[in-house]
Structure 1
Amino acid sequence: MTGRLIEVEVGAVAHGGHCVARHEGRVVFVRHALPGERVRVLITEDKGGSFCRGDAVEVLVASPDRVESPCPFAGPGRCGGCDWQHATPKAQRALKAAVVEEQLRRLAGLERHVVVEELPGGPADWRTRVRLAVGADGRPGFRAHRGHGVIPVDDCAIAAPGALDAVVDRAWPPGAELVVTRDADHAVHVTEIGPAKRVRGRPVPGPARRRSGSGTATEHAAGRTWHVRADGFWQVHPEAADTLAAVVAEWAAARPGETAWDLYGGVGLFAAVLADQVGASGSVAVVESAAGAVADGRRDLADLPQVEWHVGRTEAVLASPAFADRRPDVVVLDPPRKGAGREVVEAITRSGPDRVVYVACDPAALARDLAVFAANGYRTTQLRAFDAFPMTHHVECVALVEAVPPTGSLSTRSVDWPDDSDH
């Protein structure tokens, strides 16, 4: 029953920023707790069935990994943005590694030891892109966990320094949303999205967006300068773009004259890496559904004629005549949080690339897609994970997937197969 107070022993971490406990034969998903603790839990959501959700409101026996949350807006009933502020940074990475391992084991049948690697800069002051909601009182803040209420804030422990200064000290139209970006040159851009309207119960876009700042963010990554829409997609951690580009470069290992695909390519960060590898005699096809990102990419990569752009949903573009009978040597994909899905993965495997580099921000979606690759003759040979979202449950993974050579054939490339490669 919602509002009930119970006492539980906290078990293992689960995907989504909570831990698993059991009470009276039911599973309780507990936030603000750590494995091994004994806590009092306030039930916040109970729809019946086999599980309910709750917040640890009192710690009776604390984990040695527990620390005081650095943000006054974190904790039960408060901002839902950070999941692990009550854990040491080392413990946070261990929790994320455990989640990745469990998702790979359960959904993809892969037994793999995972280490979540720390990015430079520490656990605070890293988030360069922040989305806020505006409450009924005109004050900006963040949504409560699994709720629509707005928790007003005057600062954010994980936001890049200075990012929110121009936002939190003024009133905004109630119901609006704010997208705040601090770019690599420390310029701050604010995009105000008008309050959403509802038609037949569904939200529809409100008034036109209003912007302060130039609206174009300057970023530096992969040895290039990028000029991208401030409210468009770019990695939120200042070290993430370069880190991921370096891994993609290493694992893609495209040769001069080869063909590469960059799916869900955004403004072309990975396309730039691939273009340098294949050279003027090769080709890189970028597929991206956001026309604005493609426009930015065309401009920023105008010096790379081997890069061609395709605007549309990835599954539709791959099924189009433009991609019929095309065989890439390597495919890079960086899908949204829901993953690529069976249709896209099977289209990739039918095209027959030697290697696929999969960049993922959700371990469950990654594991589901890796299982589809495995069912279609591909094998996961490498995986790295990065703490690109400290204090939250999110983790960035990169997997290398390679075609399994036919029995009795010799691969043209040397592959160091890991011990668990047959799972």
Structure 2
Amino acid sequence: MSTTKEDWTGRKFEVEVGPVAHGGHFVARHEGRVLFVRHALPGERVVVSVYEDNGGSFCRADAVEILQPSPDRVEAPCPFSGPGMCGGCDFQHVSWDAQRELKAEVVREQLSRLAKIERDVVVEALPGGPLEWRTRIRMAVGRDGRPGFRGLRSHDVIPIDHCVISKPGMVESVTDRKWRAQELTIVQDGDGNRHVGEVRGRHTTRRAGTGTAVETAAQRKWRVSADGFWQVHPAAADTFASVVGEWAAAEPGQRAWDLYGGAGLFASVLGRQVGENGSVLVVESFPGAVEDGRRNLRRMSQVEWVADKVELAVTRKLPVENPHVVVLDPPRKGAGKVVVAEVARRRPERVVYVACDPAALARDLAEFTVQGYRLAELRAFDAFPMTHHMECIALLVPETS
């Protein structure tokens, strides 16, 4: 075992690759240190090149030569994928079936390690295949004015002229000229309209489209800001709304909360369930999303809105009456102990938790367990093929249920 603090940056080693880890890389070891390796697969023998070493117990590396490939390895469909290239896709070199199994293993490991929950997990594919699915992209602009994507853990802009996971024509619509912006936003909505925004600081100038995206989900048309939040996979919003509705199972006249409610996708489902004699309280901190939500659900008088951070609203602004159902769709960091404790204190019959990060989900599930709730159901979806990201939906009920 090495006892020195020698900087390994730029050095190459031959290693055997171990299991997948959360974040799109794989674990290997060399001279007592952990290597987080990208562009590899479990069981492979590879040569790695270290690109980041901060002197601790681990460093980061790319697999630059494959000596013994995995049977799950395929040729990357994107010419901009690989060491030193675009940092957007983690699994271009992995067969689609194997990608979903790797993601399932990550969810299983996070649940076991962080929440002490042992559960089999299957990551379900969404319709459409692994390519040409992404409908919302954000591109950086290099000093030369050419748009591209940033390298992994880097501010460097990798110029590209095509993106295999994006809807055809999206990238091509902005790569035929140079830009003076810092970033570009490109959105192709559900009606096939394309919206291009030029971002300078906090200001966005509309260069194509109306800036209002038209989407279809949960049995209704939505008109939302093209630069606001909406699921990037065209099948995701409708799929998630269906699962949330099934598990929420709110009854007419009941009370429901939709925390981190966005533009009201799940609130629309809850609103139909509780009817005019029930109530749905939506809490969302982003003013643009609240504006979109109020406009889209203006005919649902049972839906009320609180424009505030959820962690603040749950402790000072929510009704005295306890909800029967709570839906949580927090950002990547998760809901956190304060929100989980306050939700659990209200003792809803069901909590439906939508998560875009399995580690955050596991941490919050651990806290729900402390607060007397158990995991009743779990589904996971490959809403981001070719990347390490996924979406999970969990149903929690009181331990006594």
**Same fold at TM > 0.5:** yes
Show the counterpart of 2:366: 371
Match of residue 6, structure 1, among 2, 8, 13: 13
Match of residue 293, structure 2, among 297, 305, 313: 297
Q: In the TM superposition, what is the alpha-carbon distance from 1:324 to its structure 2 partner?
A: 4.7
Alignment of 1:108 onto 2:104? no
* Aligned residue identity for 2:87: G
- Unaligned residue ranges in structure 2 (runs of 5+): 1-7
The SS at the match of 1:323 is coil
Show the counterpart of 1:261: 257
The SS at the match of 1:99 is helix
Q: Runs of 4 or more off by more than 2 Å in structure 1?
A: 207-212
Alignment map for 1:333-372 (pairs within 5 Å): 333-372=328-367
Show the counterpart of 2:218: 222
Alignment of 1:245 onto 2:241? yes
Show the counterpart of 1:403: 398
The SS at the match of 1:245 is helix
CA contact (8 A) 1:77 1:144 kept: yes
Mapped to 2, the partners of 1:316 and 1:106 lie a distance apart of: 29
The one-character-per-residue Cα deviations of 1:129-148 (angstroms, maximum 9, x if unpaired) are 00110001100000100111
Coordinate RMSD, CA, aligned? 1.0
Mapped to 2, the partners of 1:211 and 1:334 lie a distance apart of: 31
Mapped to 2, the partners of 1:385 and 1:212 lie a distance apart of: 35
* Aligned residue identity for 2:196: V
The SS at the match of 1:11 is coil
CA contact (8 A) 1:181 1:188 kept: yes
- Unaligned residue ranges in structure 1 (runs of 5+): 197-204, 406-410, 412-423
Show the counterpart of 1:200: none
Mapped to 1, the partners of 2:238 and 2:195 lie a distance apart of: 22
CA contact (8 A) 2:133 2:167 kept: yes
Show the counterpart of 1:164: 171
Alignment map for 1:28-47 (pairs within 5 Å): 28-47=35-54
Instruction: Rate the CA distance shift 1:307–1:324 in 2: closer, same or farther, 3 A.
Output: closer
The percent of aligned pairs where both chains have the same amino acid is 64
The one-character-per-residue Cα deviations of 1:323-361 (angstroms, maximum 9, x if unpaired) are 152300000011111111111111111111111000000
Mapped to 2, the partners of 1:216 and 1:90 lie a distance apart of: 36
Show the counterpart of 1:65: 72
Show the counterpart of 1:139: 146
Mapped to 1, the partners of 2:131 and 2:308 lie a distance apart of: 36
CA contact (8 A) 1:128 1:237 kept: yes
Show the counterpart of 1:180: 186
CA contact (8 A) 2:197 2:204 kept: no
Alignment map for 1:86-125 (pairs within 5 Å): 86-125=93-132
CA contact (8 A) 1:132 1:141 kept: yes
The one-character-per-residue Cα deviations of 1:354-375 (angstroms, maximum 9, x if unpaired) are 1100000000000000000000
CA contact (8 A) 1:134 1:177 kept: yes
CA contact (8 A) 1:38 1:61 kept: yes
Show the counterpart of 1:416: none
Mapped to 2, the partners of 1:361 and 1:19 lie a distance apart of: 20
- The farther-off stretch of 372-381 and 161-170 is 161-170
Match of residue 155, structure 2, among 123, 148, 151: 148
The SS at the match of 1:380 is strand
CA contact (8 A) 1:45 1:52 kept: yes
Match of residue 80, structure 1, among 75, 81, 87: 87
Mapped to 2, the partners of 1:172 and 1:138 lie a distance apart of: 5
Mapped to 2, the partners of 1:124 and 1:147 lie a distance apart of: 25
Alignment of 1:385 onto 2:380? yes
The SS at the match of 1:345 is helix
CA contact (8 A) 2:132 2:166 kept: yes
CA contact (8 A) 2:282 2:303 kept: yes
CA contact (8 A) 2:258 2:326 kept: yes
CA contact (8 A) 2:88 2:387 kept: yes
Q: In the TM superposition, what is the alpha-carbon distance from 1:30 to its structure 2 partner?
A: 0.2
Q: In the TM superposition, what is the alpha-carbon distance from 1:209 to its structure 2 partner?
A: 3.8
CA contact (8 A) 1:325 1:351 kept: no
* Aligned residue identity for 1:81: G
Show the counterpart of 1:18: 25
* Aligned residue identity for 2:351: V
